[in-house]
Chains A and B, each alone.
Chain A
């Protein structure tokens, strides 16, 4: 049924730490590998070893350059604007005239790259489920995981259009839609060690930037992490109530790229030194 189940207490999902993600794509690769052989697989590619491989990935890692707005104090802002007038503002989209109070002068010291893994957010009110004409797309009542029954899917692709997060992709090879299953065939799999009952992407992440848990339980580790780090949902204004949360990058330490200031030279009375040391000082001071 494509009707949504009543809101459940359990909301399984991921918390992704944008501060520690290094953009290695291990999550994407581990996901592809597990799901190729998992209960919802395979994930065949078209032309896999050819010039233009094309296939479904449940996880895609973007990389963004984030350039800080810079110091808002008038003096340094003017100085920066004078020294680099054409670098930041014209090339960046956010230099909107309406946001007048926010200085748009980029501070190179604050520039950073943010790696951004994008996958299904297992929304609480997913439009991808309600638009499905066949009932292939469904949200599980017990834990909120959004799944596709690939034996029922007709491949109309309407769910991909309905998802603003790009979570659903069409497998041209199989003629059906495929999406992140939150590794539902791992997390409840009693043949695995208990420590391994986590999504493949979480297991693979070398920097532990991905966390899996119950976001409906405020006492859970992931919920505490979200509360502590100010985790946020993507585009909440669209109203799909995503379950997954992203932890924002922590502020960078100031001064990373500023020129180092040398310690001030101590005063030395050379007249009191021996002739050898005076000669050494003269030579080294050249």
Chain B
């Protein structure tokens, strides 16, 4: 399949954004469940990790979604894509993506309001009563954010996983891969944000640990995925045309002398030629390097900031290569009519 920049950029960026939102939602639920007594503002004050993470996720998700419109032939009609959620994963993805903005906007505006509240406003009376965001509201909004982000990533993955004619997509590794890579890239961004000079982080050694664990898990999954797609069941022009019972079938003449839409869109071969090298680059830059840097950051906390940003750059480059390969290596059944063959 021809790798299209708009789709690769969309899936990588919005994947990272939703992964980041998943972590922010979890952090908001698990790490900061209670307000520290007497210090109501510290946790929500800019530039703490939660508002930073929500804002960065907003940016990543929005850039990704805008980029996905670039793939459309009639982008001004994109709103129509929200109508067929009963059957279409693409439609479900659009709806999930829009709904997930709601808890983010809710939490974000509450943080903005509460964080700007002058301290003396809280000295008289009950300070917590003046805040927009109660613990209950935070819990509900965080659960909605978590559910929306996971649902959107699952919808994105299922757009590809439901396509039977593309074996490299129609398998059980794909959905798990999108979710793992989403959370992994979210962890990379979160760690880099936490390492910012002003990042008021309580104790976020959990982020490099997450990076290392998810790097390992994702690399393992990708390895298994690549082994799966490298062993195509044999299929050929004979199977596609149904002429196999008569003899050996060979494409003798194609319908047109020029490349057409089908061969252009689904006959991309270059990636498979260089797949070994690209997979190695992806594994080293995307997973091994960030994992090592995470361990380095854990061992020497003073090196944490440069390690986190290097890990982000390396990891995201590797994930871009991974996503490019995900599209570019995939074979489409229709190419069997054009003489392609898959051998075991």
Contacts and interface: CB of A to CB of B under 8 A. Distances in A.
Given A54-B260, A94-B238, A132-B88, A66 B246 contact: yes
Contacts of B242: 232-235, 246, 248
B96 to A, nearest CB: 12
Interface residues of B, number: 62
A131 B243 contact: no
B80 A154 contact: yes
A128 B305 CA distance: 48
B72 A88 contact: no
Contact of B243 (A95, A134, A166, A248): A248
Nearest to B164: A238
The 3 closest A-B pairs by CB, nearest first: A155-B73, A175-B73, A60-B255
Interface stretch (A111-119, A201-209, A254-262, A275-283): A111-119
Interface string B229-256: 0000010111111111111111111111
A133 B83 contact: yes
B251 A169 contact: no
A116 B255 CA distance: 9
A106 B248 CA distance: 8
Given A63-B253, A132-B84, A134-B81, A157 B333 contact: no
A133 B88 contact: yes
Contact of B73 (A88, A153, A239): A153
A92 interface: yes
B255 A114 contact: no
Interface of B: 1, 71-75, 77-78, 80-84, 86-91, 94, 159, 162-166, 234, 236-256, 258-262, 265-266, 332-334, 337-338, 341, 343
Given A106-B248, A162-B165, A62 B253 contact: yes
A60 B77 CA distance: 30
Contact of B341 (A23, A93, A132, A154): A93
Interface in A126-180: 127, 129-136, 152-158, 160-166, 169-172, 174-177
